[in-house]
Structure 1
């Protein structure tokens, strides 16, 4: 029998709703420093992804597949009587946001993507990514959450975050350690980039306003964002100086300004 996903979420604010989707190892709490700014202009809906925070942690990795989690997200909007939302996704949450927008574009008023990707086109490269994500999932289950977080904090993607204050680094680590090892492992197995259907061919059909954000130090995702900019004529690309993959963490004031300007238009 198919298992239903139960999202944990935090909602506050008014008028237009902006739904916030965090990255891998994060949670709705990742957006806490930004909620006050956003809630001045929109109703804020911050969601724990499946396997993260206080949302469901199914033992079946198939329940983490983006089509399944997209369906659960749309059901949540129905439960909350939200016909359309502004959707903001970071990294893994950006991939989820793209899948939602291409599946149900009528539910998305505007789309903001931070350090996101539409997937991997090459089948061999996609298979390699699935294999590497599977090995990392096995590592989490074998070695435990703290050992994994120690590893994850030191991957090249997050090198620029080492310049952040000790307090911010400690808070980021605390958020990661609150997650479930099974949830993180199954997120890699079911919702990893290697499991994602490439969405490049569908991007031209997106008609809602789209904001693309990337950090200049994150060369890979700057290139991906530029590619998406070329595939989505009505999109706008903002490259944030002196920021890496997590622009919202590394340059929060600039990130908030970009998102608020996008909300106000």
Structure 2
């Protein structure tokens, strides 16, 4: 099998710039594709009557693969990017040769979590995101160690969040709230799979990552010490090494 491209999908509420710390290390060995998801970064939010759903974002991704003439890729993502990876796997399993699931989970939102997302969406639409969203999310996105000792990472995440459009953030939040449970989907995904999680991830904790890795027929787990929910920004060298060391394709 010829070497496959790696497609990495970004977390919420940031954009594909979060992958920049991994780019140099990965591209020495593999082609890396990091699109912005609809409504975030440089990708516009389409005018559509459809209810927000990651299924629509998955169709965006499949259309991108078609334009790039890529029959199969190794597909992965962080947090929301992992949810979108699962939506794409559900929509077009034949396009996915392997999975890289970073700080994400296969379960659906609880009713309380979904309500919180809808409240965030309403505020983002009415106020935008600058001045409140980053401050409210940083304690859950980054470990205490990162927040206390890595001001550069804190500022990077704050800047990424502050640069997003309120409408795109609202759409993504509602789409995540509507996502289904994907546990059985992963249990049927007989492809090589890497699961990466920060040791201090408060949103998708190591226990959830371990359960996800165990449900995958060919899953492997890596726990990143002292990192929180954004391991690609908190520990890019270890995440890069984990992907390159796991890579099962010639």
CA distance in 2, matches of 1:235, 1:242: 22
SS in 2 for 1:20: strand
The answer (yes or no) to whether the contact 2:134–2:162 under 8 Å persists in 1 is no
Matches within 5 A, 1:107-122: 107-120=95-108
Which deviations, in whole Å up to 9, do the C-alpha atoms of 1:184-233 show, x marking residues without a partner? 011111x22x3101111222210110000011112542111111122113
CA distance in 2, matches of 1:185, 1:119: 21
Moved more, 129-138 or 17-26: 129-138
Closer/same/farther in 2, CA of residues 74 and 150 from structure 1, 3 Å limit: closer
2:194 matched residue in structure 1: 211
Moved more, 21-30 or 147-156: 147-156
1:151 matched residue in structure 2: 135
Measured after TM superposition, the shift of residue 61 of structure 1 is: 7.8
1:241 pairs with 193, 218, 225, which one? 225
- Taking structure 1 as the reference length, the TM-score comes to 0.85
Runs (4 or more) in structure 1 with deviation over 6 Å come to none
SS in 2 for 1:214: strand
2:23 pairs with 7, 12, 35, which one? 35
User: Which runs of 5 or more residues in structure 1 are unaligned?
Assistant: 1-13
2:72 matched residue in structure 1: 84
2:159 counterpart of 1:174: yes
Closer/same/farther in 2, CA of residues 140 and 164 from structure 1, 3 Å limit: farther
Which deviations, in whole Å up to 9, do the C-alpha atoms of 1:52-106 show, x marking residues without a partner? 0011223558464111111121111011100111112000001111221233221
The answer (yes or no) to whether the contact 2:16–2:34 under 8 Å persists in 1 is yes
1:126 matched residue in structure 2: 110
Matches within 5 A, 1:88-107: 88-107=76-95
The number of equivalent residue pairs is 246
